[in-house]
């Protein structure tokens, strides 16, 4: 990464009040949600530029009643851009983010390209917004699982120090993109018609099936790339040294991730106190109705901004009473991606605090 414009003062870290905004990867699953978030949240932009691969150029997308044409991304795309929201994969971010910064834009990058770069803040606004003050042009938007975990755990970590986290995920198709969501629908329809279906996007049958996350396995630890990302990013966002154990699994759900969390604290944590902290935490909605057996579900989280948290219990696996267990569900495309990126951008606007 080569950024030749230094953002040294707080003021330099801000975006102009009515920025020109570009979305890189506008036609993808997250790109479409970025448009939706900017519109719905009335983001005060002057102009919106939609960028994508040459293959998608010419497509028309609606924004605030206008028809915007998608342009092919190239070196000259960022001439007048103040804010560039990247969501076109690591390769595109590595190739074009520095170009955008050099042209004067602040980049909020949804890929994993810069997430562990010490010069790039990795931000969940509810958790570590202060990290935005030291950005140098690029801000990384975290892995969707890490975002959901940190939104749910930060309010608890502020009350008792976290000593260990155990994570098991139920990840939806959207994390693998729009084509994976389509593959889940199509392969399920074929299954119900008793027809064969050859997976094209994902490596395993997906209809009424689940499988270990399809990122490469680290030969030394046996953990897959997704698991190692979640560990590293969760620790970085929360400034945490605690060890994290994790298993990431894809389930046949369309667009919200569910996560079973067990957290060991440095002292006992009464569930009533944890619940109260979560109820007043930004970005969290407690769904924990034991009598009605109603807890967080992807069907309730999909399309919503909040991370739903429930099943707040003392872990029966830890007789010391220092461990809690929770079940959190968040929309992978919104808080797990597009919404968090737009929330980061909102914090950067000059006229907001």
What's the CA gap between 96 and 246, in Å, rounded?
32
**Stretches 20-28, 61-69, 134-142, 248-256: which one binds a copy of itself (CB under 8 A)?**
248-256
Q: Contact, 336 vs 257, CB < 8 A?
A: yes
Q: Which is nearer to a copy of itself, 1 or 260 (by Cβ)?
A: 260
What's the CA gap between 260 and 44, in Å, rounded?
37
Judged by CB under 8 A, the residue of 86, 96, 114, 170 near a copy of itself is 170
Number of residues in contact with a copy of itself under rule CB under 8 A: 61
Judged by CB under 8 A, the residue of 36, 44, 205, 304 near a copy of itself is 205
For 317, the token pair is 């696996």
Using CB under 8 A as the binding rule, whether residue 177 contacts a copy of itself is answered as no
What angle do the packed helices 178-192 and 29-40 form, to 10 degrees? 110
Using CB under 8 A as the binding rule, whether residue 272 contacts a copy of itself is answered as no
What's the CA gap between 259 and 352, in Å, rounded?
33
**Stretches 12-20, 51-59, 135-143, 219-227: which one binds a copy of itself (CB under 8 A)?**
219-227
Q: Which is nearer to a copy of itself, 86 or 327 (by Cβ)?
A: 327
Judged by CB under 8 A, the residue of 33, 82, 226, 315 near a copy of itself is 315
Judged by CB under 8 A, the residue of 19, 283, 298, 330 near a copy of itself is 298
* CB of 295 vs a copy of itself, minimal distance in Å: 4
Sign for the pseudo-dihedral over CA of 57, 59, 62, 65: positive
Q: Which is nearer to a copy of itself, 77 or 143 (by Cβ)?
A: 143
**Stretches 29-37, 134-142, 145-153, 161-169: which one binds a copy of itself (CB under 8 A)?**
161-169
CB atoms within 10 A of CB 273: 13
Within 46-85, the residues that bind a copy of itself by CB under 8 A are: none
Q: Which is nearer to a copy of itself, 114 or 206 (by Cβ)?
A: 206
Q: Contact, 144 vs 175, CB < 8 A?
A: yes
Q: Which is nearer to a copy of itself, 63 or 197 (by Cβ)?
A: 197
CB atoms within 10 A of CB 178: 17
Q: Which residues contact 305 (CB under 8 A, 6 or more apart)?
A: 283, 331, 334, 335, 339
For 235, the token pair is 């620790």
Q: Which is nearer to a copy of itself, 1 or 251 (by Cβ)?
A: 251
Using CB under 8 A as the binding rule, whether residue 185 contacts a copy of itself is answered as yes
Using CB under 8 A as the binding rule, whether residue 190 contacts a copy of itself is answered as no
- Point out which residues bind a copy of itself (CB under 8 A): 164-166, 168, 170, 184-185, 188-189, 192, 203-205, 208-212, 214, 216-217, 219, 221-224, 231, 243-247, 249, 251-254, 258, 260, 262, 271, 290-291, 293, 295, 297-299, 310-319, 323, 325, 327
């Amino acid at each position: 990464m080569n950024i030749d414009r230094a953002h040294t003062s707080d003021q330099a870290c801000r975006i102009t009040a009515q920025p020109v905004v570009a979305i890189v990867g506008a036609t993808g699953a997250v790109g479409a949600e970025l448009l939706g978030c900017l519109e719905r949240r009335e983001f005060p932009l002057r102009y919106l530029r939609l960028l994508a691969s040459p293959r998608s150029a010419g497509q028309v997308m609606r924004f605030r009643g206008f028809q915007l044409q998608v342009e092919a991304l190239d070196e000259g795309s960022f001439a007048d851009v103040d804010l560039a929201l990247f969501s076109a994969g690591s390769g595109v971010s590595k190739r074009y983010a520095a170009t955008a910064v050099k042209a004067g834009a602040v980049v909020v990058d949804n890929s994993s390209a810069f997430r562990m770069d010490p010069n790039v803040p990795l931000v969940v606004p509810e958790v570590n917004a202060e990290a935005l003050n030291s950005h140098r042009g690029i801000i990384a938007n975290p892995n969707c699982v890490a975002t959901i975990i940190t939104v749910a755990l930060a309010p608890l970590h502020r009350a008792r120090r976290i000593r260990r986290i155990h994570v098991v995920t139920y990840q939806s198709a959207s994390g693998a993109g729009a084509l994976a969501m389509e593959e889940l629908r199509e392969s399920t329809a074929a299954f119900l018609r008793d027809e064969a279906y050859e997976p094209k996007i994902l490596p395993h049958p997906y209809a009424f099936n689940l499988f270990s996350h399809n990122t490469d396995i680290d030969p030394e630890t046996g953990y897959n790339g997704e698991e190692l990302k979640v560990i590293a990013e969760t620790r970085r966002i929360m400034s945490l040294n605690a060890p994290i154990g994790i298993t990431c699994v894809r389930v046949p759900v369309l667009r919200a991730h569910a996560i079973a969390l067990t957290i060991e604290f440095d002292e006992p944590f009464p569930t009533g106190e944890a619940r109260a902290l979560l109820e007043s935490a930004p970005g969290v909605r407690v769904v924990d109705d034991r009598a009605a057996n109603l807890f967080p579900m992807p069907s309730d989280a999909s399309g919503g901004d909040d991370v739903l948290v429930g099943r707040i219990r003392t872990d029966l696996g830890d007789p010391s009473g220092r461990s809690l267990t929770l079940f959190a569900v968040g929309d992978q495309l919104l808080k797990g991606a597009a919404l968090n990126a737009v929330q980061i951008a909102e914090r950067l606007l000059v006229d907001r605090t």
